[in-house]
Structure 1
Amino acid sequence: MQALYRKYRPKLFSEVVGQNHVKTLFLNSLKNGEISHAYIFAGPRGTGKTTVARILAKSLNCENKNGVEPCNKCNTCQSIDNGSFMDVLEIDAASNRGIDEIRKIRETVGYHAAQGNYKVYIIDEVHMLTKEAFNALLKTLEEPPSNVVFILATTNPEKIPQTIISRCQVIDFKNLTIEDIIKRLEFVCKKENINISQEALNEIAKRANGGMRDALTILEQVSKSSSKDITIEDVRETLGLVPIEVINEMIDSIKIGDIKKTTEIIEKVYFSGKDPEVFLMQLLEEMILKIESGDYELIEFLKPLSEILKDIKYSEEKLILIKLGFLSVMKLKPPRENIKKNVEKAEENEPIPESKLNDKDLESTQNVENKEKKIENKENISKIMEYLKLHGDLSLYVGLSFSKIEELPDRVKITFPPEKKIHYELVRSKIHELEKLYTSKFGIFKPFEVIIKENSKEDDVLNKLKSLFGNNFIVEGDNE
């Protein structure tokens, strides 16, 4: 049985999925007879680079063209499709990267076309060529015969020497959209009589990472390993993905700072044979979806998790690195056990209704509440300062040390004396970091206000009077 990606490889420009800018360029160039002598097709894998190269080769040599599109029926088109056409030579530079292969091209490039009108050289993964091979190719690219076209395909254009790039027309191939991939998958499923849910198609399109070839390969794999009707669970099981329920459970444990639960889930996923990198990617994807839905509390975890993903990529000790990484992540979130205990304690000791208190009791109760609130506010600020000192931005900690910090019911007020303007500017520039840290520590958002006291002689005089007489004096205004 022929692989789906080969069976449904486009044979006309109009059949190519996406890449409208590429199709328009070649349709116009063929129509006007303005074909360049050398092209670089640059883009991610599975986006149609080799496919477009073959269609272009057919269009240049087809015996019975339909406008500028190849007929796909003549001997030339069929020979190019099956790789037996003498004037279209495909080279895989990944396995033929030396100077000898390029010398063979130089030796044959000057000969007349044997079967068609144009000689087309398609060099795939051209960035894999050696430095000597590129140097050998350079002269041929600069002055090729008029009936020769070079197409250099690559997924890493940055590795191609500038001397080569300057002699070619560079065409960028883009990742396909999920919508384009789904539309093509629906077409293939209809042709192959594959029953599949829309959710499953969407999951396949997401996992293809913008490549049509990958999408068709996944579809074929799932169709062979699943029952008659393919569901999203079948796709996830075939690809070795972690169930979404486990991902959500992991996110919840991270949010509440439950280290034990987090490590249990990590071990469960690891020892079930799932790929740790795929697991972390799923975790990041789900967090991004939740953030887009308004759960901004998760933003602070994205960068640390992406760092874990980078750390384990080439390591053999993935489990221990993941655990260490998550322990660092959990420091961003204080454990909620104490909060839970306080809530339970508050529920057990319900306050006496105000209606049953006399004025003296009510005043006393309010004074106690205000005192407790003031103490709690001081503790909050102390926790912020302690975190900055040990784990956070040390410059921010130093700047705040020169200020007076007051936590009010609706905001946190930070006041600097007039001579500390540099520290004032530093803290003011990082106010969003403070707000984010406060939200992550205490679960509520409070705006931070940073002000600097004005230096006035009147303030100095008042301060001196207070030092001498306390508050037992009256300042009278001028009565003129």
Structure 2
Amino acid sequence: MEYITLYRKYRPKDFSEIKGQEHITKILINTLEKNMISHAYLFSGPKGTGKTTVARIFAKGLNCDEGITSKPCNKCKNCLSINDGTNIDVIEIDGASNRGIDEVRSLKERVSLSPTFGRYRVFIIDESHMLTQEAFNALLKTLEEPPQKTVIILATTDPQKLPLTIISRCIRFNFKRIGINDLVDMGRTIAKNEKISVDEEVLYKIAEASDGSLRDFISLFEQLILFSGEKIDIENLLSLFGESEDEVYKDFFIGIQNGEDAKILSMIGELINSGKEVQEILRGIIGYGRKILFKKIFEEEIDSEVKSLKKDFIIDVIDNLIELFSELRYSNFPRFMFEIRVLKLILKYSKTKPLIVEEEKPQKVIEEEKKAPHLIKERSFIWDDFLLNLKNKNRAIYSIMRFGKFIEIKEDKIYVQFPYSSKFQKEMADEKKDFLRNFLSELGYKNYDFDFSIQSEEDYLKEREEIEKSEEVTTLFKYFDGKVEKIEENIEDTEDEKKN
């Protein structure tokens, strides 16, 4: 006997078997019972939620030998032929492969024909958003002047791509993702009928991974049955599919926060080697990030390991990955772009250190600091981090201070020297001392002040002489005539500064 896949075997055959779409089935049942049949319907929603299945059941209700009914018999010739896809009055068209104007013109010719064996000719156009604009224009005429005894059902996962002129001429039904409990109930039914022993935890794990798609749930369950046999436990699940995707995505967020670049890159490599596309991985990470973000916002119970993740951190990671997702459409190197973006995120969060660095200190240092507390500040002040914080606070003053060079902290003064060619910046820095003093207090350096100086002419000339005698300059003059006119320090943003 030919093997029938579980999805086909357990495909609902009447409205009572449809899971999670009661808001739609109730309306369609009333439509059939009251014989209030429209000429066009639009079924929109995620994949695997029953759009085509409901369309077939509706077609059976229209053409069942027992009359127009909300409870087709599934025994008559019309019902059986619709179930196996051979009924000549119910035509299913794949919009992705029959998307041109010629195919729609052919459809218009077929629409004008009367039903052969049933009461209605039913046209089910799946993935209808894939039709071309010319095809939509041709279809529009049919929807405006529909023939009698003809019903057109458009099914789509992407309704926003349909023209408004098409949508407005259809009765629209929005299919929802199927709830985890409904999916688990379906799993129990299949396990009972197929005489399979399966742990409840396994069914819930599969349901979570299916993202509301009954078709995906049954497909994953079938793989697990073929792999494990008549008894399925959590070990079988992990052996076949590996670690739970949520666990992987959790490690992704924690790894970025902790700066674990090697671990994250290995994780990406394992996911790609397992057969996942970069876009699919991004969807999973973004979806998981959204889930934990909303749990934090609504103060729901959350895994202890992700409690330390701040909301602004989660939002920034999601925002970066959404931006990357759109950029990948035009790239021939999706994996490399993904890895680079992740490394930038790791650098961003691992380099954003506080100005006061806490690290283990020798006993001798601790005793010195007790005698002279200012030594703590001297050892912990990081000039680059000060500039980064200043840039976020006041870009104008930052543009002045970035020319300065940190020399030392002595007692309660922070000594900064400006290049000989930056006299103007030094004068401006002197004028902004009050602001800078207050800003130091905000950063934890209370009672500290700046001491600004300018590089002496003697040091400048000495530096100039060293540069003129340097190998790079002498090599340059060897091939080109010239002389050193002026020496200026090249001030460039660090990578962290560029991001901000």
- TM-score, scaled to structure 2: 0.66
Match of 2:427 in 1: none
- Per-residue deviation, 1:23: 0.9
Match of 1:139 in 2: 141
1:10 equivalent to 2:44? Answer: no
DSSP-derived class of the 1:386 partner: helix
Measured in 2, the distance between the counterparts of 1:405 and 1:278 equals 45
1:256-308 CA-to-partner distances (Å, cap 9, x unmatched) read 32445544555566667765555555555665666643323352433334445
Q: Is the Cα–Cα contact under 8 Å of residues 87 and 113 in structure 1 kept in the other structure?
A: yes
Q: Is the Cα–Cα contact under 8 Å of residues 55 and 124 in structure 2 kept in the other structure?
A: yes
Match of 2:348 in 1: 332
Give the AA of the match of 2:347.
K
- Per-residue deviation, 1:386: 1.9
Q: Is the Cα–Cα contact under 8 Å of residues 32 and 68 in structure 2 kept in the other structure?
A: no
- Per-residue deviation, 1:337: 11
- Choose the corresponding residue for 1:296, options 291, 300, 309: 309
Match of 1:185 in 2: 187
Give the AA of the match of 2:93.
I
Deviation larger for 302-311 or 37-46: 302-311
User: Per the alignment, do residues 223 and 350 of structure 1 end up closer, same or farther by CA in structure 2, a change over 3 Å counting?
Assistant: farther
Measured in 1, the distance between the counterparts of 2:440 and 2:99 equals 68
Q: Is the Cα–Cα contact under 8 Å of residues 20 and 178 in structure 2 kept in the other structure?
A: yes
Measured in 1, the distance between the counterparts of 2:130 and 2:245 equals 39
- Per-residue deviation, 1:217: 1.5
Q: Is the Cα–Cα contact under 8 Å of residues 53 and 122 in structure 1 kept in the other structure?
A: yes
- Per-residue deviation, 1:64: 2.6
Give the AA of the match of 2:222.
E
DSSP-derived class of the 2:65 partner: coil
Q: Is the Cα–Cα contact under 8 Å of residues 209 and 245 in structure 2 kept in the other structure?
A: no
Match of 1:322 in 2: 338
Structure 2: 5+ residue runs without aligned partners? 296-301, 402-431, 447-495
Measured in 1, the distance between the counterparts of 2:441 and 2:111 equals 79
Deviation larger for 203-212 or 379-388: 379-388
- Per-residue deviation, 1:327: 2.3
1:301-325 CA-to-partner distances (Å, cap 9, x unmatched) read 3333444555556645344333322
Match of 1:123 in 2: 125
DSSP-derived class of the 1:94 partner: coil
Measured in 2, the distance between the counterparts of 1:262 and 1:307 equals 19
- Choose the corresponding residue for 1:223, options 219, 222, 225: 225
Measured in 2, the distance between the counterparts of 1:198 and 1:286 equals 22
Measured in 2, the distance between the counterparts of 1:90 and 1:235 equals 36
DSSP-derived class of the 2:148 partner: coil
DSSP-derived class of the 1:296 partner: coil
Measured in 1, the distance between the counterparts of 2:64 and 2:276 equals 49
Q: Is the Cα–Cα contact under 8 Å of residues 46 and 176 in structure 2 kept in the other structure?
A: yes
Match of 2:471 in 1: none
Matches within 5 A, 1:30-69: 30-64=32-66, 68-69=70-71
Measured in 2, the distance between the counterparts of 1:177 and 1:206 equals 9
Match of 2:372 in 1: 368
DSSP-derived class of the 1:345 partner: coil
Q: Is the Cα–Cα contact under 8 Å of residues 15 and 70 in structure 2 kept in the other structure?
A: no
Measured in 2, the distance between the counterparts of 1:234 and 1:143 equals 56
User: Per the alignment, do residues 340 and 231 of structure 1 end up closer, same or farther by CA in structure 2, a change over 3 Å counting?
Assistant: farther
Give the AA of the match of 1:368.
A
Give the AA of the match of 1:32.
K
Measured in 1, the distance between the counterparts of 2:284 and 2:165 equals 41
1:313-372 CA-to-partner distances (Å, cap 9, x unmatched) read 6645344333322221122223699999953325x55967xxxxxxxxxxx976733x35
Q: Is the Cα–Cα contact under 8 Å of residues 99 and 130 in structure 1 kept in the other structure?
A: yes
User: Per the alignment, do residues 248 and 408 of structure 1 end up closer, same or farther by CA in structure 2, a change over 3 Å counting?
Assistant: same
| Percentage of matched positions with identical amino acids | 37
- Per-residue deviation, 1:211: 1.6
Measured in 2, the distance between the counterparts of 1:40 and 1:321 equals 38
1:109-145 CA-to-partner distances (Å, cap 9, x unmatched) read 3444332222222222223333343333333222223
DSSP-derived class of the 2:359 partner: helix
DSSP-derived class of the 2:28 partner: helix
- Per-residue deviation, 1:178: 2.5
Measured in 2, the distance between the counterparts of 1:306 and 1:132 equals 32
Measured in 2, the distance between the counterparts of 1:110 and 1:271 equals 51
Match of 1:207 in 2: 209
- Per-residue deviation, 1:4: 1.4
- Per-residue deviation, 1:55: 0.9
Match of 1:405 in 2: 439
Measured in 1, the distance between the counterparts of 2:191 and 2:445 equals 58
